[in-house]
């Protein structure tokens, strides 16, 4: 038996334990956006450090002003100058689990379940995003080390704890540890497959910038009978602002919003058309029929190659049971803008703020409390050699060509790896569109986990050749 | 000394005891919306029954499916067929007192206090709304009976215990006791004066109808990166709906909304103009400068004589701390419409629902979950003889003309008295705008209580002539 086959056999034989280790992590509610869970984030980080140390990594919990990073290095005894050094990235923090009442099983009590469709899945917050994903390369490393005593490559693992809350500590950390973290390439495991049988490497990611606005009308909450009419209701103002963001063709109306957005190259459009993507099926899975983005653009273009303005939350006034005849003092909204091409996050924010200021009446105040920052879009050159090797390994495992695809999501770290550490990223993940990440009943298919581990075993082998 | 002057002298001489009796009632936390206080509501009702019996009323606690009613009748021995029979209405239940930490003194331990501005006030939940108010006519009756041995009129007192929780038992009770409760007119003591020196009779009340809408886009919450663009965001749809409710001149755009809304009669407009109401001061008190209602209408018209569409609450998506890149499945809003003239609550609801249905894309669903019902506006004819007599008595007491005013709020009982018992209502109250009813530190001016009692002594005298 070759090394590779022995490692794959070992990984398969140890799969129940791999699942147990993942469940142990999922049980830790490491929600980075909520300070009440700071200790849980630390517990998750310490658990990973201890596990990697047990495999022979030099692993450390590294403090930041926010949640800690896990940094771990592995250098094979036989390594030479030409042994490639690769960084593997994931994140141990998760999204909040609310609304809790929509979960079929408690979000932090993971379960393995054969569903009525015959597919085995695991359910729990973080099973897919991103604990289940990054554990695929951790388990692949374990299989290599326990089978052969070593890894075929030099590896650095970077597992952060602030990905779901904007990664505020990441850039300073990369800058401060530039020499230590600069590798030949970065592998990021936080993306999807094309479908449950077809692997994919993601080469386009949208950028992201957040904003939060608060509109204040009257200085205090008022009785809607005694003041309704003359007193300006800030909800009315806020809805005018939000409603003005899109025209009837689904285009964003912020002045200058599309500066830096190019039409899709003909070749790329042709490749995407060849994917035979079913728009109807994609929408039907989430209860929809009509694409809501820009008219004249395909659904894949709308998600992979066009920018958006989304309201992620809105609130104001009385939202409990029954009625309360209140005319509130304040109304709020949280927004995100997904960016493509050369759109500049700061310019977009500024243009949005100016538009809002122009829409609110003199009597109202508006505050912007987004944290600034944001990241532009990423496009990774498809002729990158690490992509070619990964694609070969993926084809060996899945017996299908890996699709080079886009993603509507944002993984700003690819940008930072390139700009700060000078390395390209290869995005290989095993998530599926129906994983319900960020939603109730988040799940990860057992096959994603098991064959994800096997895929990394093969990729590491290929990279080490 | 005439009877009237003797009764007024008696009332003044007994004022400290009047205050003591009111404080005894305020000490009972008769919060009708909270079942934990059911026994307190019964105690309050029994206290009032016992007091009225001691004055010679035939008084009874009358059970309902909810909190009990107090019904009491007084027929003077000298009464003839032409002696007018009048009903006096108030309510012994009060609003919850929370947030408790904002009260300067405990809400159910009433205190009398001279404030730094030299004005004497009493503080406590219910001092104004409505225990202090209805006790003004109870104390006036006491002064008449203890001084002259009788009342100058036939009187029925109806003191309910569910006004602050939607009066669910009221309509069935009025219907079941129609003969017993039908009088020549009803006097309701639950409204305000024009200002601390100027009495008022409220002749216009806006109607009210509630609605709640839920718009569903995708069947589940989605990741705004993976679906942002093609998936319709229900917040975007909801804001389009709400934003469409008002045009740029502050007019409500629902088709047929203004059917039954008449322009203000010239005479009424003239009277309101003569009030020298300071729009700037009214708005400045709540941090505003510009009237937000229909352009071309004065603030008093906007509150007293024009209908509104208000959003009392809006919510959808993630509203906690930090950010969540969710594209939600549902978005919600609670609305109220204040009605005037002959606007029909059911027609308004229907027109609103039709407008909403026309505005939402095919892919979205809308549900309406308002409780229906609602009450039209009340306008009491100002040539009503009971108003004229009451106005004369108020002028005698306060040495100023009583203002015939509107109220932007809704007191549905006037409608029920008219529709079920066939009698008009006269709304005379001694509250002030700064009484903080429904808020912490509710208060009632000593002058409101003392001269309120004196006012009812005079009104009863005038009515009996």
DSSP states along A159-204: EES-GGGT-TTHHHHHHHTHHHH--SEEEE---B-SBTTB-EEEEE
Strands, DSSP E only, in A37-179?
A: 58-62, 69-74, 85-91, 111-114, 120-123, 154-160
Longest Cα pair distance anywhere in chain B, in angstroms?
A: 88
* Rounded to 5°, angle at Cα A253 from A252 and A258: 65
**Residue B406 confidence (pLDDT):** 93
Low-confidence ranges of chain A (pLDDT < 70): 1
**Residue A311 confidence (pLDDT):** 98
Q: Are B412 and B425 in contact (CB under 8 A)?
A: no
Q: Each residue of B114-144: pLDDT tens digit?
A: 999 999 999 999 999 999 999 999 999 999 9
- Are B336 and A319 within 8 A, CB to CB? no
Taking a contact as any Cβ pair under 8 Å apart, which residues of chain A between 30 and 59 contact chain B?
A: 33-35
**Residue B189 confidence (pLDDT):** 97
Q: Nearest CA of chain A to the CA of B35: how many Å?
A: 16
Q: Which two structure tokens, joined as six digits, stand for B249?
A: 């001149």
Alpha-carbon span B463 to A53, nearest angstrom: 94
B208 contact residues in A (CB cutoff 8 A): 225, 325
**Residue B323 confidence (pLDDT):** 84
Q: Each residue of A164-173: pLDDT tens digit?
A: 988 899 999 9
- Are A433 and B226 within 8 A, CB to CB? yes
- Are B226 and A313 within 8 A, CB to CB? no
Average pLDDT, chain B: 95
What percent of chain B is predicted at pLDDT more than 70?
Answer: 100
Taking a contact as any Cβ pair under 8 Å apart, which residues of chain B between 118 and 137 contact chain A?
A: none
Task: Name the closest residue on chain A to residue B289, using Cα atoms.
Answer: A363
The mean per-residue pLDDT over the stretch B44-55 comes to 98
Orientation angle between helical segments A3-13 and A15-26, nearest 10 degrees: 60
Taking a contact as any Cβ pair under 8 Å apart, which residues of chain B between 277 and 306 contact chain A?
A: 279, 282-283, 286-294, 299, 302-303, 306
**Residue A1 confidence (pLDDT):** 64
Burial (CB count within 10 angstroms: exposed 0-12, middle 13-18, buried 19+), residue A296: exposed
- Are A312 and B318 within 8 A, CB to CB? yes
Handedness of CA B348, B351, B355, B357 (dihedral sign): positive
- DSSP secondary structure code for residue A228 in this structure: B
**Which of B137, B222, B241 shows the shortest CA–CA distance to B188?**
B137
Q: Nearest CA of chain A to the CA of B330: how many Å?
A: 10
Taking a contact as any Cβ pair under 8 Å apart, which residues of chain B between 424 and 453 contact chain A?
A: 438
Q: Nearest CA of chain A to the CA of B458: how many Å?
A: 29
Strands B85-91 and B185-188: parallel
**Which of A261, A264, A248 shows the shortest CA–CA distance to A298?**
A264
Task: Name the closest residue on chain B to residue A410, using Cα atoms.
Answer: B225
**Residue B1 confidence (pLDDT):** 65
Of all residues in chain A, what percent are helix, strand and coil, respectively (each to 5)? Answer: 35, 25, 40
Task: Name the closest residue on chain A to residue B166, using Cα atoms.
Answer: A323
- Are B224 and A338 within 8 A, CB to CB? yes
Alpha-helical (H) ranges within A196-246 are: 224-227, 234-243
Q: Are B139 and B18 in contact (CB under 8 A)?
A: yes
Taking a contact as any Cβ pair under 8 Å apart, which residues of chain B between 348 and 367 contact chain A?
A: 361-363
- Are B286 and A219 within 8 A, CB to CB? yes
In chain B the domains, ranked by start, together with CATH numbers, are 3-205+378-464 (3.40.630.10), 207-261+307-368 (3.30.70.360)
Alpha-carbon span B414 to B187, nearest angstrom: 9
**Nearest-CB residue to B288 (from A231, A238, A313):** A231
**Residue B36 confidence (pLDDT):** 94
Which of A240, A250, A310, A407 best tests the B interface by mutation, with the highest count of B CBs <10 A? A310
pLDDT tier at B11, thresholds 50, 70, 90: very high
**Nearest-CB residue to A290 (from B242, B334, B361):** B361
- Are B317 and A319 within 8 A, CB to CB? no
């Amino acid at each position: 038996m070759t090394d590779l086959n022995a490692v794959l056999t070992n990984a398969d034989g140890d799969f129940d334990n791999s699942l147990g280790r993942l469940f142990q992590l999922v049980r830790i509610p490491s929600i980075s956006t909520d300070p009440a869970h700071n200790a849980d984030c630390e517990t998750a980080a310490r658990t990973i450090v201890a596990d990697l140390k047990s495999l022979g990594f030099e692993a450390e919990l590294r403090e930041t002003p926010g949640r800690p990073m896990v940094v771990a290095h592995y250098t094979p005894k036989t390594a030479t100058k030409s042994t490639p050094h690769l960084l593997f990235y994931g994140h141990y923090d998760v999204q909040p689990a609310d609304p809790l009442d929509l979960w079929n099983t408690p979000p932090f009590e993971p379960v393995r379940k054969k569903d009525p469709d015959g597919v085995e899945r695991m359910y729990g917050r973080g099973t897919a995003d991103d604990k289940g994903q990054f554990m695929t390369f951790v388990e692949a490393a374990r299989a290599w080390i326990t089978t052969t005593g070593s890894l075929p490559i030099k590896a650095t693992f970077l597992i952060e704890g602030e990905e779901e809350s904007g990664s505020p500590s990441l850039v300073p950390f990369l800058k401060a540890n530039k020499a230590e973290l600069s590798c030949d390439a970065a592998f990021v495991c936080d993306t999807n497959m094309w479908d449950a049988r077809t692997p994919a490497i993601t080469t386009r990611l949208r950028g992201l910038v957040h904003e939060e606005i608060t509109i204040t009308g009257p200085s205090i909450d008022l009785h809607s009978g005694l003041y309704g009419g003359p007193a300006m209701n800030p909800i009315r103002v806020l809805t005018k602002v939000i409603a003005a963001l899109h025209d009837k063709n689904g285009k964003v109306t912020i002045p200058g919003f599309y500066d830096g957005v190019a039409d899709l190259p003909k070749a790329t459009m042709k490749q995407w058309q060849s994917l035979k993507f079913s728009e109807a099926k994609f929408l039907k899975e989430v209860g929809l029929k009509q694409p809501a983005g820009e008219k004249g653009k395909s659904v894949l273009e709308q998600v992979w190659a066009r920018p958006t303005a989304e309201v992620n939350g809105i609130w104001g006034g009385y939202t409990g049971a029954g009625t309360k005849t209140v005319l509130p003092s304040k109304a709020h909204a949280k927004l995100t803008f997904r960016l493509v091409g050369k759109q500049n996050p700061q310019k977009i924010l500024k243009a949005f703020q100016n538009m809002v200021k122009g829409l609110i009446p003199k009597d109202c105040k508006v505050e912007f409390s987004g944290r600034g920052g944001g990241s532009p879009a990423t496009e990774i050159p498809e002729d990158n050699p690490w992509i070619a090797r990964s694609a070969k390994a993926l084809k060996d495992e899945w017996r299908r060509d890996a699709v080079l695809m886009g993603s509507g999501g944002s993984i700003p770290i690819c940008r930072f790896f390139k700009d700060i550490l000078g390395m390209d990223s290869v995005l290989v993940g095993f998530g599926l569109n129906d994983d319900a990440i960020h939603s109730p009943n988040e799940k990860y298919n057992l096959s994603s986990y098991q064959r994800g581990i096997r895929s990394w075993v093969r990729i590491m082998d290929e990279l080490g050749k």
